[in-house]
């Protein structure tokens, strides 16, 4: 299946971020996430979901937090870096540069993003 840029819808996440759902099917989904401004002083908002996730930094820099049973990891990542998140693990990020972008992949696809 083809997903052409001209046909992609933009979903607002909050005042500083939005996403575009890219190619997806029942077992896999790609999502591009855009951040307008850096928020280095903000606390990292964490969340969890049943999906496995990988994240690739397309542009800019981020501070990521991952909370596992073995402890909390906080690390800065930059363009070209990638991260893996197991299912149900608390994680989150804040952008450290204006106009930062991520490419997230989920398995299975995020049905909540499609509603």
Tens digits of per-residue pLDDT, 45-81? 999 999 999 999 999 999 999 999 999 999 999 999 9
Q: CA 93 → CA 6, 38, 61, distances in Å?
A: 28, 11, 10
Task: Domains for the chain: give ranges and CATH numbers.
Answer: 5-114 (2.60.120.10)
* pLDDT single digits (tens) 81-113: 999 999 999 999 999 999 999 999 999 999 999
**How are strands ordered across the β-sheet holding 71-78?**
71-78, 61-68, 90-95
Tell me: cis bond preceding 108? Omega within 30 of 0 counts.
yes
pLDDT in tens, 13-29: 999 999 999 999 989 99
Phi and psi, residue 7, nearest 5°: -95, -5
Q: Could you tell me the two tokens for 91?
A: 């994680």
| Cα–Cα nearest to 106, from 68, 55, 72 | 55
Whether pLDDT at 115 is above 90: no
> Can you give 45-93 as a three-state secondary structure string?
CCECCCCEEEEEEEECEEEEEEEECCEEEEEEEECCCEEEECCCCEEEE
Read off the pTM.
Answer: 0.94
Position 97 scores a pLDDT of 98
> pLDDT of 28-43, one tens digit each?
999 999 999 999 999 9
């Amino acid at each position: 299946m083809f997903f052409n840029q001209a046909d992609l819808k933009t979903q607002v996440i909050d005042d500083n971020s939005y996403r575009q759902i890219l190619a997806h099917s029942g077992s896999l989904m790609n999502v591009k996430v855009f951040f307008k401004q850096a928020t280095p002083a903000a606390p990292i908002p964490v969340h969890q979901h049943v999906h496995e996730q990988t994240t690739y930094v397309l542009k800019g820099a981020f501070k990521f937090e991952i909370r596992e049973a073995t402890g909390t990891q906080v690390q800065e990542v930059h363009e070209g870096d990638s991260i893996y998140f197991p299912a149900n693990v608390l994680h989150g990020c804040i952008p450290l540069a204006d106009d930062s972008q991520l490419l997230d992949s989920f398995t299975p696809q995020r049905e909540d993003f499609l509603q």
